[in-house]
Structures are given as structure tokens and as C-alpha cells.
């Protein structure tokens, strides 16, 4: 779909599709529309809005690849569909029907996560094997359709960033069916931890009990059998925030009373938080990540400096590219411009 060396992939919620500007569409190589869902083994877009925007997006950028992302946090139905041959066939068939109807270029599977029910979805130890079989069936169905249409349809996944995801999947098998693998290297800290820290840091810094970072994640997936040229890393257009944080070390690596909930999106950070209203921006050179602290509220986020570092890393490590969640979180255009200019 694209001649650009590195991919720049934006997740865009279906609500936000009409807000994609022609200029931004030209800065992206692919859009993942979030989300389709799984109901009774069938892929459905009953709750997915604005699919009629697909042709307009192509007018903006004829080379833009547009995929339907199926799933998301707390979106279930995968484990049940994957558990039987019949379910997998139904999943694949209905996904291809939607691809045809909407005129899409591929399917992105965002099952969060095989073998884990933390998001309130069904899970089974068998997911480890049936996830592979589900993607194999989907690849087959996409290839059959592609043979009719004389083209290649894309199949991608979004993955958790840490060891748990590797343990719950057969990545060396899974990757064979995929065009690329998108590591969700954000939310690496937050909802499950009361210890403050970076949620989308490039490197693992000294002094952090949680040893996950973009670099650590990339190495885990390479060691699990995913070729580096298929790896996409993730950037965050939103923040994570802890309150009532002890006023030590500028709030970094401090125990707070509650876990790190979602903080302001970048539009709001730029308007009201970054070096404003008592919040001071700090830079962790070891982690290659910025953070904000006002004496009691700690915010971890992504900015131009951290994204430039991630783009350099993509080039240096010969990775496939970068993706981000989520387009509408930055209405200033700053972060997408930074990625575009850096790659």
C-alpha cells in the first residue's frame, strides 16, 4: 500500500473518523479504525460509526491503508470464537464480508488478551493455541479473497507489551500469518500500579521496580520469534496520572494511595498542564521520557522529544514503524507532525 520506508499508523476511534484532516491523512501510512467487535463468533460493526468515511479518507491519500481493528480493552467474544473450528471459520468469514462491504485493506486483531480475563472477558488456557489457529484461519480467508481481487489484504495484531503476553501466545507461530505486530508500549504503568512511573518510556531506567520499556518489550518479542522487521512500537497521545503523590524526587517512583488512572489527553496537556498551572515538566534522560509534577499530582505522557527518540530507535533497530493511540487525543497536530518529520 505504501512506498514509505517506515510505517506511521494511527488508531482512530470510529467516532473521530470525520475529524481526520486531509493533511493528517497524508502523514499516515495506515489507519486502524477502532473498533469492530465479536458477538457469537461473528465480527460485527453494529457499534462502529462512520465507515462511509473510508472513501473520503482515500480521496485525501490514495496510498492510505485502512484496517478495521477488532476488539479493544474489555471487548470479549474472542476466546469463545477461537475455541472451535466452526467458530474460527465464522469469525474469518464475517471479517472478510465486512472488509468487502466497507472497502478495507485489512484486519487488525486487538484481543486483550489471549489467556487473560482481567478485562472482564472470557479466557481459557487453550487460548494460547487457539489464538494461533484463529489467525491462521483469518489469513487463509483474506488470501482467498485477495486471490479473487488480485491483491494482498493485511492482517495485523495489537499486543500487550510485557512478558505476560508472550506467555499467553505462540508468537513464533503467530507472526507467520501477520504483516506486522503492533506492541502497545503504553499503559506500561498505570491502572495496575500505585507506584508512579513512566507509562510509555523508551528505555528502562535505574531505580524503577517495574522493568518494562519499549526497548525491553521489543527484545522480548524478538526473543519470542518475531522478526524485527515486523515490529511496530507504540506511542501515546494521552497521559496517565496519580494523585496525592509524596513530594519527593519530583513525584517519580513514589507510592501513591491509588493506581494511575487516565490523565489528560495531549490537547489538554498542551493547553493547561505543560509548564502551566503549577505543573513543571521534567525530562528523564535515561528513560527518554517526560513527566509533569505540581507537588502532589504526577503525570506521565509523551511529547515531541520522546517521540523523536522513539523514531530514532525505530531506524536504529530496523523496526517496521510506529503506531499511536489515539488520533483525536491531539488536536494540536504536534505529535503526528513530530512522527511524520522524524520518519
Q: Which residues are catalytic?
A: 112
Q: Concatenate the DSSP letters of all residues of 259-285 into one string.
A: --EEEEEHHHIIIIITT-TT-EEEEET
10 Å CB burial of residue 21 (0-12, 13-18, 19+) is: exposed
Residue 97's contacts (CB-CB under 8 Å, 6 or more residues apart) are none
Say how far apart CA 184 and CA 169 lie, in whole Å. 15
Coil, helix or strand for 16? helix
- Is the distance from CB of 252 to CB of 291 less than 8 angstroms? yes
- Is the distance from CB of 149 to CB of 96 less than 8 angstroms? no
Say how far apart CA 317 and CA 311 lie, in whole Å. 10
Say how far apart CA 225 and CA 9 lie, in whole Å. 23
Helices (H), 150-261: 163-167, 171-174, 214-223
Nearest to 200 by CA among 254, 262, 248: 262
What single-letter DSSP state applies at residue 108? Answer: E
Nearest to 335 by CA among 234, 244, 241: 234
**Cis status of the peptide bond prior to 113, with omega within 30 of 0:** yes
Amino acid at each position: 500500500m505504501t512506498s514509505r520506508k517506515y510505517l506511521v499508523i494511527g488508531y482512530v476511534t470510529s467516532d473521530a473518523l470525520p475529524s481526520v484532516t486531509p493533511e493528517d491523512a497524508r502523514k499516515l501510512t495506515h489507519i486502524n479504525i477502532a473498533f469492530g467487535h465479536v458477538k457469537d463468533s461473528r465480527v460485527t460493526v453494529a457499534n462502529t460509526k462512520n465507515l462511509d468515511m473510508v472513501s473520503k479518507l482515500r480521496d485525501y491519500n490514495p496510498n492510505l491503508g485502512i484496517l478495521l481493528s477488532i476488539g479493544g480493552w474489555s471487548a470479549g467474544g474472542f476466546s469463545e470464537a477461537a475455541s472451535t473450528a466452526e467458530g474460527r471459520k465464522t469469525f474469518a468469514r464475517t471479517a472478510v464480508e465486512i472488509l468487502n462491504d466497507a472497502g478495507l485493506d485489512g484486519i487488525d486483531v486487538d484481543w486483550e488478551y489471549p489467556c487473560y480475563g482481567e478485562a472482564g472477558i472470557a479466557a481459557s488456557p487453550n487460548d494460547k493455541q487457539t489464538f494461533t489457529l484463529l489467525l491462521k484461519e483469518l489469513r487463509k480467508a483474506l488470501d482467498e479473497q485477495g486471490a479473487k481481487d488480485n491483491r494482498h489484504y493485511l492482517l495485523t495484531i495489537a499486543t500487550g507489551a510485557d512478558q505476560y503476553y508472550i506467555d499467553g501466545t505462540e508468537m513464533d507461530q503467530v507472526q507467520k500469518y501477520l504483516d506486522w505486530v503492533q506492541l502497545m508500549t503504553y499503559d506500561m504503568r498505570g491502572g495496575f500500579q500505585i507506584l508512579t512511573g513512566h507509562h510509555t518510556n523508551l528505555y528502562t531506567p535505574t531505580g524503577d521496580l517495574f522493568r518494562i520499556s519499549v526497548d525491553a518489550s521489543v527484545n522480548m518479542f524478538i526473543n519470542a520469534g518475531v522478526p524485527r522487521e515486523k515490529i511496530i512500537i507504540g506511542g501515546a497521545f494521552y497521559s496517565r496520572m496519580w494523585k496525592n503523590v509524596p513530594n519527593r524526587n519530583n513525584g517519580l517512583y513514589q507510592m501513591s494511595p491509588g493506581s494511575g488512572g487516565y490523565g489528560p489527553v495531549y490537547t489538554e496537556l498542551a493547553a493547561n498542564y505543560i509548564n502551566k498551572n503549577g505543573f513543571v515538566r521534567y525530562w528523564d534522560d535515561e528513560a527518554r521520557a517526560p513527566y509533569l509534577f505540581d507537588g502532589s499530582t504526577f503525570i506521565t505522557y509523551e511529547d515531541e522529544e520522546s517521540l523523536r527518540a522513539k523514531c530514532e530507535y525505530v531506524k536504529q533497530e530496523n523496526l517496521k514503524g510506529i503506531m499511536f493511540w489515539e488520533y483525536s487525543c491531539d488536536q494540536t497536530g504536534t505529535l503526528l507532525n513530530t512522527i511524520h518529520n522524524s520518519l
